[in-house]
Structure 1
Amino acid sequence: MLVKDVMTTKLVGVSPDNSVRRAAEIMLANQVSGVPVIDDAGRLIGILSEGDLLRRTELGGAAAAELGTFALTAEEKATAYVKSNAWKVADVMSRDPVVVGEDTSLGQVSALMQKHRIKRIPVMRDGVPIGIISRADLLKAIVAADRDETAPGDEAIRRSIAIRLSENSSLLGKDMAVTVTDGVAHLWGSIDTEECKRAARVAAESVRGVTRVVEHFSGDRP
C-alpha cells in the first residue's frame, strides 16, 4: 500500500504566527497530537507536536527544564529556554520536518517513523503539503490488510510456509523442514534460540489455512 491509500487529506495546520495556546486549542479541537506549520504562501516550514510542548512553563516545566540543562552548551540551553517560554509557534516548532510523497510505500513511512522517532509525517506534492500520515493511519492499514491468498490443500500450505521461512532473514542457514496434515503445520530442524523459534512459528501462522503450528526443534527431521 502507498501513502495516498491511507493518508489523512483533511489537513489541519497552524500559522507560524499563531500563539502556542491557539495551536494547542486547534490540536485539542481536532483530536490530533501534532500539526504542520504552514506560512501564508502555503509552504510547509515546520511541525508542532505535543513533544514540543512537554516542558512549557505553563506546565510548571521551567524547573524541570533547568534540571536537564546542566550538561548542555550555552546554545542548547538557549534553545531549551525558547521552547519553554516563547509564545509564538515559529519559536517552538520543530524545523526541517521529515516529509514524504503520496506514492511512498507504507514500509518506507514506517522505517522513517522509527528512525526519527516521530508519529506523523506531512505528505507533499510539488512542494505543497496535501495531507499527513500518522501512526494511526498505519494501524488502519494493518486492520484493512488481507492475508495472502493460499491455494487449498496441505501441499499448497506447506509450499507457502516453506517460502515464508526461506524469506525470513533470521532463519537463513537454518536446516528446516515443513510438513502439513489437515491444516496442522509441523516445523522441524535445528533452531537453538527462542526468538528464532518464535520467528519460524509466526511465519507459519501467517499462512492462510494453517490451524495450528507444532514445533519439533530438536534437530530431527521428518
Structure 2
Amino acid sequence: MRVQDVMSTRLATISPEHSVWHAAQIMLTEHVSGLPVLDDAQALIGMVTEGDLLRRSELGTPLGDGGVQERARAYVKSRSWKVGALMSAPVLSIDEDAPLSQVAMLLGLNRIKRLPVLRDARLVGIVSRADLLKVISAGGPDAEIRGDAAVSRALRARLEEAGAVLRRQPELHVAAGRVHVAGTMRSQEEIDVVRMVVDSVVGSGFKDDLTVVKEPR
C-alpha cells in the first residue's frame, strides 16, 4: 500500500503572512490539528500545528529555561502575530508513492502526527496517524482455512515468512483437523513467534510441545 492510497486530498492551507488567530480559526473550522504553510508560488515552506499554538503568550506559556538565544526565539514564536514566525521549518514531507511503512517510521521517529505529501515538489495531500489507523481497522481475521492440507500450507507459508526472526523452523503436523507443533527453538521469544503464527491461523486449540534448547556451557 502506498501513501496515495490513504492520504487526504482535502487540504486546508495557510500563508506565512496570515495571522496566528486565522490559523487557529481554520484548524477549528476544518477539524485539523495542523496546516501546511505555502508561499506565493504555492511551494511548501513549513507547518503550523496545535503544538506551535500551545506555546503562545495568550495561554501564559513560559519561555523556558534555555539560553538567551533559545529564549529569544521562544519570545518571537509566542508573541508574533504572523504564522511565518512560529511555523516549523524546514518541514518533513513524503512522496505520494512512498510505502506506508516509511510513513509509520517517520511519524514514530520524529514524534509527529502528520506528513505533507508531495508530487514533483508540489503539495497534493496529507497523511496522518489517523490514516494509518484506518488501514489497521479495515483488517481483520483471515477467512477460516479448511482441510488439513490447506491448513498445513498456510502454516508453513506463515512460518517461512517469519524466517527472518526464527533461527530454526518447528516441526509441524496436521492431521484430522488437529495441529501439533513441536521442536526445540533457540529462545523463548522465537517460541512466542511460532505460537502467535499458529494461533493466527488455527486459533488457540493446537497441541504445543515447543521447548527452548539448552545451550552447552
Does the pair score TM above 0.5?
yes
The answer on whether the counterparts of 1:186 and 1:213 sit within 8 Å (CA) in structure 2 is no
Tell me how far apart the structure 2 counterparts of residues 26 and 44 of structure 1 sit (CA, whole Å): 18
1:216 aligned to 204, 209, 217, which one? 209
- Aligned partner of 1:52 in structure 2 is 52
Report whether the alignment pairs 1:99 with 2:131: no
Match of 1:173 among 167, 174, 182: 167
Could you tell me how far apart the structure 2 residues matched to 1:188 and 1:39 are? 63
Structure 2, gaps ≥5 residues long: none
Distance between the aligned counterparts of 2:187 and 2:132, measured in 1? 31
The offset of 1:194, in angstroms, is 5.8
The worse-fitting range, judged by mean Cα deviation, of 211-220 and 10-19 is: 211-220
So what's the TM-score if we normalise by structure 2?
A: 0.82
Distance in 2 (CA, whole Å) between partners of 1:8 and 1:130 is 9
Root mean square deviation, CA, Å: 2.7
Q: How many residues align?
A: 212
Offset, 1:137: 0.9
Does 1:134 find its partner at 2:134?
A: no
How far apart are 1:81 and its partner, in Å? 2.2
CA 1:152/1:114 → structure 2, altered by over 3 Å: closer, same or farther?
same
The letter for the 2-side match of 1:57 is S
Task: Answer whether contact 2:159 2:169 (CA < 8 A) is retained.
Answer: no
Report % sequence identity.
Answer: 43
User: Structure 1: where are the runs of 5+ without partners?
Assistant: none
Paired with 2:100 and 2:2, the residues of 1 have a C-alpha distance of: 5
1:24 equivalent to 2:24? Answer yes
- C-alpha distance 176-48 of structure 1, shift in aligned 2 (>3 A): same
Checking the alignment, whether the CA contact within 8 Å between 1:201 and 1:213 is kept in structure 2 is no
Aligned-residue offset at 1:118:
1.3
User: Measured at CA, do residues 218 and 118 of structure 1 come closer, stay the same or move farther in structure 2, by a change above 3 Å?
Assistant: same
Deviation at 1:174, TM superposition (A): 4.0
- 1: CA distance between counterparts of 2:133 and 2:176? 33
Q: Name the TM-score, length of structure 1 as normaliser.
A: 0.81
Structure 1 residue 212: deviation in Å?
2.6
- Say yes or no: does 1:42 pair with 2:42: yes
Residue of structure 1 aligned with 2:147, choices 142, 153, 157: 153
Tell me how far 1:97 sits from its aligned partner. Answer: 1.4
Structure number, greater radius of gyration: 2
Pair 1:27–1:160, CA change in 2 (3 A):
same
> Residue type matched to 1:47 in 2?
M
Residue deviations 1:31-69 (CA, integer Å, cap 9, x gap): 11111111121110001112222222222212xx33xx2
Q: Report the counterpart of residue 83 of structure 1 in structure 2.
A: 77
